[in-house]
């Protein structure tokens, strides 16, 4: 096998891949010591404003660099965790956000490349020895790298420009190994959501991540999205050209990556990107019967025609009936100040334990700040707003924290909440401004008519 240089300038022989794979567990096992053990406690306290003695900025920068170095080399589940964390950096205090932003956002589009010989091996196994006959041209250099695979640019035999996503050899085994180790890092999510059932969160993440190994399932999902949005004026989904278990060929569609818009986009472009991302989030369950469950910026771009390009469909949730009616209904009742109805609805859905006596107005006070973007005529998401809201919910001395600790989180709502939180993180990175309420009125069942549907007993 040939040699390949990674993004750090190190050269590896394709023959040392098994040896490098063995070291994966050792590197990942070091993370709870190098990151969680050394930084998470102090990190959490700094976010919530409770630390008397805090880690220095140099230590935080070293932690961020270590996190990126290890997660970036490991790919797999570790890479996916880094991508998930990268959309939450908007909630961090600015003096902490900078080093984490620089380190974690790299994970949205960067990973050491696979040797060309290994790429050819995957193509031969998946498409046959004559696989090159299916292409007019095929670029051995990856155009992009992700957590469990990398993308190559090519021209299909009929002249269409295509993106060829190739799964890393052994990605399935490596991902399962990573997921077992990553359970040790799950408490990091409590920084933003102290009342999360972390066990349920890791189970849900595990299910979504393992689905990403099945490229044929992803192809079926992408076709479903493409059918729903074909010809749409706002959202564009590349057509599937060919699918196999470890190779997925789709239309090549270029655009400005959302990560680039976050870094240097104009206010108008930021607003447009935020509006379209939110439209996808709320319209897909109704139009496609699916929820796109991986909202990190690396999966999206803005086309020259102003449409949002959606690239990755490995993580989705099946919602044949659309978003649950009660989400829209309870959101609207909260905005309308219907405290008693909100409490009854939350209790019926399992957010409020049956035996918990709680003041309805206090519940309303707890929820309304979260819904500020929907109550305003226009609202601009910002890192400052997210930090303020995160502090309100996680500071152990706040009334919101004390009330939140008494509430439950039904497992059936976990995925929707996780994806919504990730989407809000991206909107805050963008600093997007829009009339967000209009999108919910168009697409969220129950929001335009909260009287529809009775409270479930």
Give the model confidence (pLDDT) of 44-78 as tens digits.
333 333 333 333 445 555 655 555 555 545 445 55
Tokens representing residue 444 in the block: 């969220």
- Report helix, strand or coil for 20: helix
Count CB atoms within 10 A of the CB of residue 407. Answer: 16
pLDDT for position 228? 98
* 130 domain-assigned: no
Per 3-state DSSP, the chain is made up of helix, strand and coil in percentages (nearest 5) of 60, 15, 30
CA 81 to chain centre: 9
* 335 domain-assigned: yes
**Domain-ending residue, one of 109, 132, 147:** 109
Q: How many CA atoms lie within 13 A of 361 on its CB side?
A: 0
Count CB atoms within 10 A of the CB of residue 451. Answer: 10
Q: Alpha-carbon distance 285 to 297, whole Å?
A: 20
Partner residues linked to 453 by β-bridges: none
Count CB atoms within 10 A of the CB of residue 15. Answer: 12
pLDDT for position 24? 43
Q: Alpha-carbon distance 341 to 258, whole Å?
A: 39
Q: Which helix (H) or strand (E) holds 407?
A: none
* Contact of 159 with 137, CB cutoff 8 Å: no
* 391 domain-assigned: yes
Per residue in 325-382, pLDDT (tens digit) is 999 999 999 999 999 999 999 999 999 988 899 999 999 999 999 999 999 999 999 9
Per residue in 291-313, pLDDT (tens digit) is 998 888 889 999 999 999 999 99
* Contact of 192 with 91, CB cutoff 8 Å: yes
In the block, tokens 């993580």 appear at 315
One domain, residues 339 and 430: yes
* 249 domain-assigned: no
* 166 domain-assigned: no
- Report helix, strand or coil for 362: helix
Count CB atoms within 10 A of the CB of residue 372. Answer: 14
Q: Alpha-carbon distance 115 to 80, whole Å?
A: 21
Cα torsion at 258, 263, 269, 275 (round to 10°)? 50
* 396 domain-assigned: yes
One domain, residues 410 and 266: yes
Q: State the first-to-last Cα distance of the chain, in angstroms, to the nearest integer.
A: 63
Residues of the chain with pLDDT under 50: 1-57, 72, 74-75, 87, 108-110, 191-194, 453-457
Partner residues linked to 433 by β-bridges: 380
Tokens representing residue 104 in the block: 């974690």
One domain, residues 104 and 202: no
pLDDT for position 65? 54
pLDDT for position 115? 83
Q: Alpha-carbon distance 65 to 80, whole Å?
A: 17
Q: Alpha-carbon distance 343 to 339, whole Å?
A: 6
One domain, residues 386 and 278: yes
The whole domain housing 47 covers 3-109
Helical segments of 288-413, H only:
325-335, 339-349, 360-367, 372-375, 383-394, 399-404
One domain, residues 200 and 105: no
pLDDT for position 17? 41
One domain, residues 91 and 201: no
CA 133 to chain centre: 36
One domain, residues 224 and 78: no
Q: How far is CA 454 from CA 82, 113, 199, 441, 446, in A?
A: 41, 54, 31, 19, 11
Which residue from 93, 48, 26, 119 is spatially nearest to 391, judged by alpha carbons?
48
* 343 domain-assigned: yes
DSSP classification of residue 300: E
* Contact of 328 with 446, CB cutoff 8 Å: yes
Residue 257 falls in which region: left (phi positive, over 0), alpha (psi -120 to 50) or beta:
beta
CB contact set of 33 (below 8 Å; sequence gap of 6+): none
In the block, tokens 């490991």 appear at 74
CB contact set of 307 (below 8 Å; sequence gap of 6+): 232, 233, 234, 235, 236, 276
pLDDT for position 324? 94
One domain, residues 335 and 441: yes
Q: How many CA atoms lie within 13 A of 179 on its CB side?
A: 19
pLDDT for position 303? 97
Which residue from 7, 20, 23, 11 is spatially nearest to 110, judged by alpha carbons?
7
One domain, residues 455 and 328: yes
Per residue in 208-223, pLDDT (tens digit) is 667 778 899 999 999 9
One domain, residues 230 and 84: no
**Domain-ending residue, one of 63, 87, 109:** 109
**Domain-ending residue, one of 65, 82, 109:** 109
One domain, residues 61 and 201: no
Q: Alpha-carbon distance 25 to 158, whole Å?
A: 43
Count CB atoms within 10 A of the CB of residue 150. Answer: 22
One domain, residues 82 and 199: no
* Contact of 216 with 319, CB cutoff 8 Å: no
Tokens representing residue 29 in the block: 């096992």
Overall number of domains in the chain:
2
* 258 domain-assigned: yes
* Contact of 300 with 310, CB cutoff 8 Å: yes
């Amino acid at each position: 096998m040939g040699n390949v240089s990674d993004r750090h300038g190190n050269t590896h022989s394709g023959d040392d891949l098994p040896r490098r794979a063995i070291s994966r567990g050792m590197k990942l096992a070091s993370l709870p010591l190098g990151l969680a053990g050394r930084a998470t406690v102090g990190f959490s306290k700094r976010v919530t404003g409770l630390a008397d003695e805090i880690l220095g900025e140099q230590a935080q920068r070293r932690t961020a660099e270590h996190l990126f170095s290890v997660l970036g080399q490991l790919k797999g589940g570790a890479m996916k965790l880094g991508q998930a964390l990268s959309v939450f950096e908007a909630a961090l205090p600015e003096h902490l956000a900078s080093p984490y932003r620089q380190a974690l956002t790299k994970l949205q589009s960067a990973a050491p490349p696979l040797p060309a010989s290994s790429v050819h091996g995957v193509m031969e196994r998946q498409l046959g020895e004559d696989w090159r006959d299916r292409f007019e041209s095929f670029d051995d250099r990856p155009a992009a790298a992700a957590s469990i695979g990398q993308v190559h640019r090519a021209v299909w035999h009929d002249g269409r420009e295509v993106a060829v996503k190739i799964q890393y050899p052994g990605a399935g085994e490596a991902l399962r190994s990573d997921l077992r180790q990553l359970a040790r890092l799950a408490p990091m999510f409590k920084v933003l959501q102290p009342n999360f059932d972390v066990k349920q969160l890791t189970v849900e993440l595990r299910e979504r991540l393992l689905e990403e190994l099945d490229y044929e399932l992803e192809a079926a999902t992408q076709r479903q999205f493409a059918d729903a949005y074909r010809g749409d004026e706002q959202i564009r989904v590349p057509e599937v050209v060919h699918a196999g278990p470890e190779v997925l060929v789709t239309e090549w569609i270029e655009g400005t990556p959302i990560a680039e818009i976050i870094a240097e986009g104009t206010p108008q472009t930021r607003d447009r990107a935020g509006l379209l991302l939110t439209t996808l989030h709320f319209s897909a369950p109704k139009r496609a019967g699916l929820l796109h469950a991986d909202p990190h910026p690396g999966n999206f771009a803005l086309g020259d025609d102003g449409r949002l390009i959606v690239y990755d469909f490995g993580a989705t949730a099946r919602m044949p009936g659309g978003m649950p009616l009660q989400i829209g209904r309870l959101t609207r009742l909260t905005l309308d100040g219907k405290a008693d109805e909100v409490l009854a609805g939350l209790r019926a859905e399992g957010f409020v334990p049956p035996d918990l006596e709680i003041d309805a107005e206090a519940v309303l006070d707890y929820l309304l700040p979260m819904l500020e973007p929907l109550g305003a005529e226009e609202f601009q998401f910002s890192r400052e707003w997210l930090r303020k809201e995160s502090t309100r919910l996680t500071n152990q001395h706040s009334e919101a924290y004390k009330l939140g600790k008494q509430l439950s989180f039904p497992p059936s709502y976990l995925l929707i909440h996780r994806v919504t939180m990730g989407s809000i993180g991206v909107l805050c990175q963008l600093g997007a401004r829009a009339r967000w309420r209009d999108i919910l009125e168009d697409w969220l069942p129950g929001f335009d008519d909260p009287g529809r549907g009775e409270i479930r007993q």
